[in-house]
Chains A and B, each alone.
Chain A
Amino acid sequence: MTAREPIEEKLENLGRAIGSDDSLVENVMSRIDTEAAELHRIKNLKNKLIFGRFIMNRFTKLTAAAVILIAVLIGINHFGGPIDGASVAWGDVVTRVDRLDYVHVYWLKSRGNNFIRHFEAWYDNGKLVTRGNKGDMVYDDGQIEQGFDEHGRRTTKGTSIFAKGQSFLELISAGLLSDENEQLSQQIPDNVGDDFLIYEFGPPKEEPHSDYIKNISITVGKNSLLPVQMKIYEKDSDDYDLVMFDYEAAKKPAEFFEPPTVQSPNGKREIVLDGQEIMIDIEGVPGIKTALVRLHDKYDGPADQLPSNYRRLLSRNFRETYKKKGGPIFKLDVSFLTDEGYRSGTNDIIVAWLNKAQQCGVGSENGGLDNWPDGKYRNIKFSPLLKPTDKEDTYIIEIRCWLRPEED
């Protein structure tokens, strides 16, 4: 290369020298998969809205859902006499909502003239079930939250979203449906119709809601004072989230709120915090023979001193999560041997808490899901669970795993 060479050619040469990394996409997506459960939780915290977890879900167009709810306009007059809707303070709505022990909502996203992505949530006396479009379910009993994929396999386990004492309605309304929100309690409706009262709220004052919510509009039955729908407009967008409250469908039975029986682990074994790789026989999973697990590094110190030699620990979100949950945390490396004897890549970015399951994934040792020696596609999904024992630095590692032989 000489100084007289056209600049375009120099740039092209530079581009070639920078080269490409075929494994980057796979690695990034694998990390995203692995951290998805954590991300969901972070987004939940960020938004204080339970729909955060569904951001990751694929969605389908929901048809005719709007029909369901408007009929709900509950005829009972909450006050027992003619209502002057114009003077109904928001606090009265909140008081009415506080009495609800059962709620069913649909959550939709507007995109132009369409509504896309939806999930449903059922809340009954402190228990919550949510169902995403793919049939994935989350069960929250007020103590523990467990996520299951569409095949009923548990993928996540963690602390309840109610752990901070917020109610379901409070969570979905960015705090507006909270009896602690005295500031808003005197607000009167902006619009009064024959059947509806519409309350308009500006961006929430407290962060982080103020960062992304432009305004929230809540339509309330004039007689019942129950919310019928809520629209959440985001900043920098004409689209909105639409939450529809369903008071018409029959109440779900108690067993609906019970999570499915958790599948027995496909393999488990005692593991010592010594960095030595152990082999765990895997049973009941066609295509996977053995899990190889290495437990190394334990940290239980302050969040601002998280060890810096592990990249995931460096993310701000992780630090925040750690700050909230505390330690100890452990680092796990996991790989698998297939029935054919092929070794998978090693997922070396797992950070585990005790008794907390998370969904992870791994592909071939050479990178990619279809880059196995026989050229077949194999996507190994797994959920490691580390349990304490009464011996120092000794734990039980449970592995639940499955093999996706083709792309979804």
Chain B
Amino acid sequence: MQSDAELVKAVLDGDKAAFAVLVKRYERPVRAAALNVLSDYHKAQDTAQDAFVQAYENLTALRKAESFGPWLMKITHRCALDSLRRKPKAAPLEKVACAAIENPDGRLDESKQRLLATVMKLPKAERQVVMLRYFSGRSVKEVADIAGRSLGTVTKQLSRAHKRLRNILKEAEL
């Protein structure tokens, strides 16, 4: 599996298909990040698209190719905030494909929204591995390959993230 850094380099070398791999890889994390700000599937979907296009347009500005994931999350966050400020979309939303949406009202239930907000507060390295592991459904080995980190590092980061999330959620319940 190619790491993010390898894919970014390939894109900069003109291989547009490599960007499609990055889009597929980060589709769910990006949607999750957008959803966290917007609390609306449809808007999150649009924002995800905007974020990827912006990332592509500005890829040459990415100093460290291995930081693509966290960098993309920053772009997504900015796009989501922009979307909040934006007027409602003029085009009808019915055509927007959203095959796997769980709730017909386009929103996460409260507990999931809270968990998502908590994930988004994790340190960026931990957040990246959590999103890839659980939102994108990657194995730990795949996460390590993607992030360009060792298996041990990713395992530790996941473990720390679990602990942190458990603690935060426990505090919230108290």
Contact = CB atoms under 8 A, between A and B. Distances in A.
A24 B27 contact: yes
Contacts of A109: 13
Contacts of A54: 14
B125 to A, nearest CB: 16
B117 to A, nearest CB: 11
Contacts of A28: 19-20, 23, 49, 52-53, 56
Contacts of A340: none
A269 B165 CA distance: 60
Contacts of A55: 12, 14, 60
A3 B169 CA distance: 9
Interface residues of B, number: 62
Contacts of B100: 16, 19-21
Interface in B7-62: 12-16, 19-20, 23-24, 27-28, 31-32, 35, 41, 45-46, 48-50, 52-54, 56-57, 60-61
Contact of A20 (B28, B89, B115, B166): B28
A344 B167 CA distance: 50
- A contact patch SS: helix
Contacts of B111: 1
Nearest to A33: B16
B87 A311 contact: no
A181 interface: no
B151 interface: no
Contacts of A58: 14-16
Interface stretch (A35-43, A72-80, A122-130, A162-170): A35-43
A212 B61 CA distance: 8
Chain B CB within 10 Å — which of A7, A56, A116, A235 has the most? Answer: A7
A25 B27 contact: yes
B49 A27 contact: yes
Given A24-B48, A25-B23, A14 B97 contact: no
Nearest to A52: B60
A367 interface: yes
13 contacts: A11-B134, A14-B116, A15-B136, A17-B109, A18-B108, A22-B97, A24-B48, A55-B14, A59-B13, A309-B86, A309-B88, A310-B90, A315-B50
Interface of A: 1, 3, 7-8, 10-25, 27-29, 31-32, 35, 39, 42-43, 46, 54-59, 109, 111, 116-117, 211-212, 235-236, 308-311, 314-315, 317, 346, 348, 366-367
Interface of B: 12-16, 19-20, 23-24, 27-28, 31-32, 35, 41, 45-46, 48-50, 52-54, 56-57, 60-61, 63-64, 82, 86-91, 95, 97-103, 108-109, 111-112, 115-116, 119, 130, 133-137, 162, 165-166, 169, 173
8 interchain residue pairs of minimum CB distance: A19-B100, A11-B134, A15-B135, A23-B97, A28-B52, A17-B102, A15-B134, A309-B90
